[in-house]
């Protein structure tokens, strides 16, 4: 269903279902419900670099987790991974056996 915008999704625990308020961009509002809701809005389609002082002057290779090239060569290199979100927790154990040194920078402890 293209050309729709999700306005609201509310969980009804008593009935065990989601109530959805969706705007059909051509015909107006639609209200529907479902038992399972999968969030697949593609938020990484519009990724951006973080605002970090000195990032633009860094002379090493920069790779964003949302745009990981198949040709990335990190073997034997010193690598810093910024963040521990869903991409970070997949990247770190994948590249760790092949890098010389790996440091994972995380904003706050849990």
DSSP-assigned letters across all residues of 42-102: -GGGG------TTGGG--S----GGG--TT---TT-EEEEE--STTHHHHHHHHGGG-SEE
Dihedrals φ, ψ of 90, to 5°?
A: -90, -35
**Residue 29: count of CB within 10 angstroms of its CB:** 10
Looking at residue 87, its pLDDT comes to 86
The pTM of the full predicted model, rounded to 2 decimals, is 0.60
User: CB under 8 Å to 62, separation ≥6 — which residues?
Assistant: 49, 55
Task: Look up residue 32 and give its DSSP letter.
Answer: E
Would you place residue 1 in the very low, low, confident or very high pLDDT band (cuts 50, 70, 90)? low
DSSP three-state, residue 19: strand
Share of the chain above pLDDT 90, in %: 52
Q: What is the mean pLDDT of residues 58-84?
A: 92
Looking at residue 110, its pLDDT comes to 65
């Amino acid at each position: 269903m293209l050309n729709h915008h999700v306005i609201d999704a509310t969980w009804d625990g008593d009935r065990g279902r989601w109530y959805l308020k969706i705007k059909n961009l051509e015909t107006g509002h639609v209200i529907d419900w479902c038992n399972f809701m999968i969030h697949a809005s593609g938020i990484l389609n519009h990724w951006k670099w973080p605002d970090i002082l000195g990032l633009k002057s860094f002379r090493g290779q920069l790779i964003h987790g949302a745009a990981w090239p198949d040709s990335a060569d990190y073997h034997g290199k010193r690598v810093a991974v910024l963040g521990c979100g869903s991409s970070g927790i997949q990247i770190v154990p994948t590249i760790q056996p092949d890098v010389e040194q790996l440091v994972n920078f995380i904003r706050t402890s849990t």
